[in-house]
Structure formats: structure tokens, C-alpha cells
């Protein structure tokens, strides 16, 4: 029987996460002692690709890593997560890195050094779109060059792909490009930056993005759930109550899960509810890609929550 699931093409960053666990996040100018230091494969693009693939989606990744140990480990992590790495370039620049500080409640602060991620070019998009059987779902973020993000969205839209943008970190997006985005998924801070609105006014920000041309908006709100808005409906999607250990990849788990649900024929609202479960499960574990759950784990988690 022919597999009717849509392919997912992730264009984005690949970083090695250098994680320091602390009692409390340091204040400006403050020096503190860390408890532990670990390294985990990460990067928003890589995380979202692995999240989707571990949930059963057919995922291809476009990006770049260096010819170094970090690059080797990132490619290995993607392959172990069932991601097609055929379109990941290896260059002489260093692999992207992220310095992540995580406190006892799972909250974090992150500094990213792009490195090889700056070598993700529009020509790489052409190669992948010409070879991956579509149309499917394009998933992009803002940790690669702005030109490449815009080009990927335009090319995919021309070919009938569903386009999803996770605008992290936030930067200005013109209305022409916004009109080509089917779903934009910012967090509260990113939504405020994109619309120059006050933090905490997510409904206002969502309506502004819709007015500027986006078809659907999902504002993720951490442990408060998510806000889903289209021209026809607005609703809040609750999250699951869990003990957070590390929130580093929660947003990426959410985005990858939503893309997976859409690839399998679910509605956006159904996908957002599924994504809430995946994100909740991911924060109960340390690290980025190692924390991302397999589909069987998510199904069992949802089943147990429904029994309560």
C-alpha cells in the first residue's frame, strides 16, 4: 500500500549544545559556580528534524556542519533519529555551537555561535526540492541566513508545499514573505518582537500577524499552553502538567510534532494538541535531541493522561 504521508523538509541550524546546570541563572555581571557540564546534539533545525523523524515522519534535513568532531556527532545523532542527512554540507568552518545555562526549574538562557550554519545557501534548497518527492511540509527557523529562509519559503510555496516558520530568534519579516507562510509558530517574546507589541499581549500579536498575511498563528506560551489563531477561530490549547527538568528543546519538540501531525493528515488544531503532549514529555528529560521522545512513548504518555 502506498504511503500517503507527506515528506517533511527541514532547513535550518545544526549546533552542538554545551550545557551547564546551575542553581539559578546568573545576573548581569555575576559569576556563579555550575553543577555539571555536558554536551548534546542540538540546533533548532536539527532538533525539529529529529523530533519529527522520531515520531514517524519521513524527514530530510538541509544545513551545514564543520569538518570537526562536533559535526561528526551531529550527523550521527540525526542518522540515529532516522533523519536523511544527504543534503547536509560539510565545510571548513567550525560547527555551530550553543552555550546553554539551565537552572533547577528547567529555565534556560542560550548564546548561539552560528559557525557553519551561515553556509546554508539558497542553492542547497534547490537541490533538496528537486530531489525530495513533494509537495510536502517545509519547516524553517531563523538560525540560518535570512536570505536562505526567505528563498526556501518562496520556492516551497511555488511548488505547493505547506510552509511553517518558527521565527526564532525573532527578526523583521516583510509582508510579502508573511503572505507565503501557512503557519508561523513564535513564542511570546518572538511574537511581541515581530509585531512591536507589548509582551503578554499574544492575542493582539497573533491578530497582527494574520492581518499581515499569515494563514495561521500558534503562539507557544510555555507551561501555559499555546494560542491558536486563524481568520475564523481563536482558542487556547492547554499543556500537560509535568515536572520540568530541562526546557531547552521544548519549542522544537512542539514544532516538529505539529509538522508530523500535519504530514499524517491531521488538522492544525489536532496537531497542536498532539504537539503539546510531545513538548511536555520532552521537558522531563535533560538535553535537546536525546530528550525528544519516540512515537511509542508519546502514545503511552497520552494514554496515561487520558486515564487520569
Task: Choose among 10, 12, 8, 19: nearest CA to 288.
Answer: 19
What would the grid cell of residue 293 be?
521522545
What would the grid cell of residue 127 be?
537541490
> DSSP label at 212?
T
Q: Give yes or no for a cis peptide into 307 (omega within 30° of 0).
A: no
SS (H, E, C) 61-129: EEEEEECCHHHHHHHHHHHHCCEEEEEEEEECCCCEEEEEEECCCCCEEEEEECHHHHHCCHHHHHHHH
Active site residue 69: no
| Residue 20: exposure state from Cβ atoms within 10 A (0-12, 13-18, ≥19) | middle
Q: Please give the torsion angle defined by the CA atoms of residues 49, 261, 273 and 306, in that order, rounded to the nearest 10 degrees.
A: -110
SS3 151: helix
Give me the catalytic one of 124, 126, 252, 299: 252
Contact 101, 25 (CB under 8 A): yes
Cα–Cα separations (whole angstroms), residue 163 to 25, 139, 175, 242, 263:
35, 6, 15, 31, 12
Cα–Cα separations (whole angstroms), residue 230 to 101, 219, 227, 255:
35, 12, 10, 17
Contact 78, 85 (CB under 8 A): yes
What would the grid cell of residue 234 be?
481563536
Strand partners, 162: 137
Q: Which residues are identified as catalytic?
A: 252
Amino acid at each position: 500500500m502506498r504511503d500517503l504521508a507527506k515528506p517533511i523538509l527541514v532547513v535550518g541550524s545544526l549546533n552542538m549544545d554545551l550545557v551547564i546546570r546551575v542553581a539559578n541563572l546568573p545576573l548581569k555581571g555575576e559569576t556563579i559556580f555550575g553543577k555539571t557540564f555536558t554536551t548534546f546534539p542540538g540546533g533548532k533545525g536539527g532538533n525539529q528534524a529529529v523530533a519529527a523523524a522520531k515520531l514517524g515522519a519521513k524527514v530530510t534535513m538541509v544545513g551545514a556542519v564543520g569538518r570537526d568532531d562536533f559535526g561528526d556527532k551531529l550527523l550521527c545523532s540525526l542518522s540515529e533519529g532516522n533523519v536523511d542527512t544527504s543534503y547536509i554540507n560539510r565545510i571548513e568552518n567550525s560547527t555551530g555551537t550553543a552555550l546553554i545555562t539551565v537552572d533547577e526549574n528547567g529555565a534556560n538562557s542560550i548564546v548561539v555561535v552560528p559557525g557553519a550554519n551561515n553556509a546554508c545557501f539558497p542553492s542547497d534548497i534547490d537541490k533538496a526540492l528537486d530531489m525530495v518527492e513533494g509537495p510536502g511540509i517545509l519547516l524553517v527557523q531563523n538560525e540560518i541566513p535570512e536570505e536562505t529562509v526567505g528563498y526556501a519559503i518562496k520556492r516551497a510555496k511555488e511548488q505547493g508545499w505547506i510552509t511553517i516558520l518558527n521565527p526564532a530568534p525573532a527578526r523583521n519579516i516583510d509582508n510579502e514573505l508573511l503572505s507565503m507562510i501557512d503557519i508561523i509558530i513564535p513564542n511570546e517574546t518572538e511574537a511581541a518582537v515581530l509585531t512591536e507589541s507589548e509582551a503578554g499581549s499574544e492575542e493582539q500579536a497573533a491578530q497582527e500577524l494574520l492581518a499581515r498575511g499569515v494563514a495561521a498563528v500558534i503562539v507557544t506560551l510555555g507551561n501555559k499552553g499555546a494560542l491558536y489563531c486563524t481568520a475564523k477561530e481563536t482558542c487556547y490549547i492547554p499543556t500537560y502538567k509535568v515536572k520540568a527538568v530541562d526546557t531547552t528543546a521544548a519549542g522544537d519538540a512542539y514544532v516538529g510534532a505539529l509538522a508530523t501531525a500535519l504530514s499524517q493528515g491531521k488538522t492544525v488544531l489536532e496537531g497542536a494538541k498532539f504537539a503539546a503532549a510531545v513538548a511536555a514529555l520532552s521537558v522531563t528529560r535533560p538535553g535537546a535531541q536525546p530528550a525528544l521522545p519516540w512515537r511509542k512513548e508519546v502514545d503511552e504518555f497520552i494514554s496515561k493522561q487520558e486515564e487520569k
